[in-house]
Structure 1
């Protein structure tokens, strides 16, 4: 978004109230994103759905965020960040009600998709609001603002576990309602409108082909578990897979022909970015897939409670936050490649530990160890991987950052869809999940091999 005009300064208390308001909105988004992972088993039992389709409650949320990203900035420029922010918060709250009231899997999946759309709008417009409010101090304010997601990663699994311990999975969504109403009221009272600009063109055709590719691919993967249903199972996989191939082909052709495509082709393969993009797909499959699947795995293999299984993600998040601070301090001295390789090695070890049976300890301690090693690896790999892509084309850092999110979420969508489909079809879902974590370790090893080909960069860029 293009918010470059500084608004007239206001009293520090008001500015920080505005800051707290938008941070609370991002926390609501982040906590909802991570807490749902703890409720997969509960939702599956209550709605009577297969795990393969219940996994869509996680993946479809990511699809919504991916698809709305190209629109979020232009919408804020055209209608004003304040107005778009208020609509997004209200829509997120309303969709939370729809999710909580869902009587079937289809309703829940639709609600989660619409929630993902609203959540995907929040980040760019909230960033624009903070930038306009703090003027010359925007760099520090935005840096502080970016801590909302790590904090949400700590609180979300605990919140989901606590809610499931004392209530049902529906309250995970209903708890957003009073928070959302409060945020709309505070936003209307405190947030000023940002300067508006002409709305740039949005590649609607590209978004359409990307939507078709993601949804058909997810359907094809999900239907793999239906091979025992006669000819309709394999036929549905073939049809959905064919649609995905056609959509992918037309998307690539469109990207090379459109003057301002949703994904610039030069950022797909040029300047070693092709290696980075493939690495990000594999990284997202292993790391985000781990986060989405670990609570369910702990519950079905070891019978852990929702609060204990959700706490594993909190352990991971705490280690990630602490180690990230160390990694940021080492980036200029060592460059990003050594830190990236060290982080990926630790992530691979963590995935293997999670898959192995506990050694001289109970499952809670053993899985906590694996989660801690995963957090350590993510702490080294996340800051370094962000720099690894952006330093290649620093003049297009924002676009590269957006692509990193897109490719990682795409990898996560494939991983979660495959694992939930395989678990749903398996006679022993716990054993299937165990094999899945070992497979993710192999995927992470492949990402590490690609990372060795990325040019290193020390110092400033």
Structure 2
């Protein structure tokens, strides 16, 4: 086991895992022990091929999360739709992923990750084709919901597949793999803008079909079967309560963005009351059920509860911020839409340059230091973006600020993705699903609340600058919470 001050690390030492021993029922860590890696913990021969295959799936799902944003006006005009229904093509995809992520993680653990992954790929491909052929906004929203089910199942099942393939190097592989998701979200508006400019909105969905067919063929050929876990039945009641909690909560928050809506809107109040009721019933059920859909330890156990809160705030700042950068550039500085979308490329470049180095440094830095450093850099970039340009054009100023936030994301994402996984390595997929659920929830909350404020603002550009400062303050507030997450160095 690597200790601070050790001059070097031998191969024999690398085979040891620094793992906290836990009393699962109490959720308390009792100490750290050196545990020899099991004989089957060797990296697999075809791990890089498998990594590439599942990375394609994750990139497709993450791009489709934001690619529709640039096509809303085209969809609205072609299908003669109201603006609120056009917006639901984005909202329903995010809601579907939030609900499906924890479900797919649990199903993948119980019934085999390859089986769930292939089913998700087939559903995503068929739903993409159906979206491209939809002749009404209502059908498009329904097909987008099915597409979200397939896309939402990719992250948790693929994370488990990567962890199995890379053995004792799973910490680095998971950190690298899960860093792909935000890259796809950044590329989405740019790719969508190009497709809508030179083709039509239907090609946004149609391009997924050949890519999906190739993905299915490669996955069937190269991804090995994983042994299903024995015995327990899926907690349908728990899954249903969680789905109702998320649907009611997100629907109420999305309703705030409607014309004339506000905190006193009966639709918002009724939806949130239902969400709180279903949430209370879900937590009570999870505490009492023999085999709950999500073990209560993963919601509030030591390390897990605080990481869920961090992921919610992180999603609000990073995902909400990213979705609103092009709007900010257009409304405050009059930058053209396609050029505004390329600002997110600067953030992607900053993230890509740092993420790989951060992954391979995790065993020396642990997870806490890069999380804190990344949060501070993201907050700094957001604050810079909210200020007026000094000695630079508005575009160059915004691009530089976006690059700073990208560096912060590249530093913090691998560490935050690995945080708490070592506490329950037998439930990797479930933890990954919960992480995605809380981050997506934070992003939807941030976008819904911000767009509501902008709708009632006399100067949208200046008001949005103030929201960036609020996002930055939120990231600073979660820094102290990182000290409540058990730090970890080494493989798990």
TM-score bracket for this pair, using the shorter chain length: 0.7 to 0.9
Matched, 1:288 2:319: yes
Change (3 A) 1:271 1:83: closer
Deviation of 1:143 (Å): 7.5
Q: Structure 1 residues 70 and 334, CA, compared in 2 at 3 Å: closer, same or farther?
A: closer
Is the CA contact (8 Å cut-off) linking 1:220 and 1:240 kept in structure 2? yes
Which residue of structure 1 aligns with residue 245 of structure 2? 213
Deviation at 1:94, TM superposition (A): 2.3
Match of 2:141 among 86, 109, 116: 109
Equivalent in 241, 259, 263 of residue 294 of structure 2? 263
- Contact 1:350–1:374 at 8 Å: present in 2 too? yes
Q: Which runs of 5+ in 2 are unaligned?
A: 1-38
Q: Structure 1 residues 125 and 363, CA, compared in 2 at 3 Å: closer, same or farther?
A: same
1:93 corresponds to which of 105, 125, 133: 125
Contact 2:174 2:418 (8 Å CA) reproduced: no
Greater displacement, 303-312 / 422-431 = 422-431
CA distance in 1, matches of 2:222, 2:422: 34
The separation in 2 between residues aligned to 1:26 and 1:69, in whole angstroms, is 13
Contact 1:40 1:296 in 2 (8 A): no
Is the counterpart of residue 61 in structure 1 residue 85 in structure 2?
A: no
Partner residue of 1:437?
468
How far does the alpha carbon of each residue in 1:46-96 deviate from its partner, in whole angstroms, 9 at most, with x for none? 667777665543443233223223443565577765554443223212222
Q: Using the alignment, how far apart are the partners of 2:403 and 2:320 within structure 1?
A: 16
Determine whether 1:254 maps to 2:285.
Answer: yes
Aligned with 2:374 (options 338, 343, 351):
343
TM-score of the two chains, using structure 2 as the length reference:
0.77
Could you tell me whether the CA contact under 8 Å between 1:82 and 1:194 is conserved in 2?
Answer: yes
Q: Is the 8 Å Cα contact of residues 154 and 317 (structure 1) preserved in structure 2?
A: yes
Contact 2:109 2:429 (C-alpha < 8 Å) held by counterparts:
no
Instruction: Indicate the RMSD between aligned Cα atoms, in angstroms.
Output: 3.8
Contact 1:52 1:420 in 2 (8 A): no
SS class of match (1:245): helix
Q: What SS class does the counterpart of residue 301 from structure 2 fall into?
A: helix
Displacement of 1:151? 5.7
Q: CA deviation at 1:364?
A: 1.9
Decide whether aligned partners of structure 1 residues 241 and 348 sit closer, same or farther in structure 2, where only a CA change above 3 A counts.
same
Q: Structure 1 residues 59, 351: CA separation in 2 closer, same or farther (over 3 Å shift)?
A: farther
The 5 A counterparts of 1:227-242 are: 228=260, 234-242=265-273
After superposition, the Cα gap between the structure-2 partners of 1:379 and 1:344, relative to the gap in structure 1 and judged at 3 Å, is same
Q: Deviations over 1:113-166 (max 9, x none)?
A: 22111012234545666788x697995987776565466356544422321332
Q: Which piece of structure 1 moves more, 222-231 or 82-91? A: 222-231
Change beyond 3 A, Cα 1:323–1:41: farther
Structure-1-length-normalised TM-score? 0.81
Judging changes above 3 Å, is the alpha-carbon distance between structure 1 residues 141 and 164 closer, same or farther for their aligned structure 2 residues?
Answer: same
Structure 1 equivalent of residue 151 of structure 2: 119
Question: What is the match of residue 358 of structure 1?
Answer: 389
CA 1:294/1:36 → structure 2, altered by over 3 Å: closer, same or farther? farther
Show the counterpart of 2:404: 373
With over 3 angstroms needed to count, the CA separation of the structure-2 counterparts of 1:304 and 1:135, relative to structure 1, is: closer
Change in CA separation of 1:342 and 1:435 when aligned onto 2, cut-off 3 Å: same
Deviation at 1:174, TM superposition (A): 1.9
Q: Deviations over 1:6-34 (max 9, x none)?
A: 9xx99x7xx97766554433332233234
Q: Which moved more, 1:291-300 or 1:281-290?
A: 291-300
Matching residue of 2:236: 204
**Number of residue equivalences:** 450
Q: Please state which structure has a larger fraction of its residues in helix.
A: 1
| Distance in 2 (alpha carbons) for counterparts of 1:144 and 1:377 | 15
Kept after mapping to 1: 8 A contact 2:382/2:401: yes
Matched, 1:177 2:209: yes
Partner of residue 420, structure 1 = 451
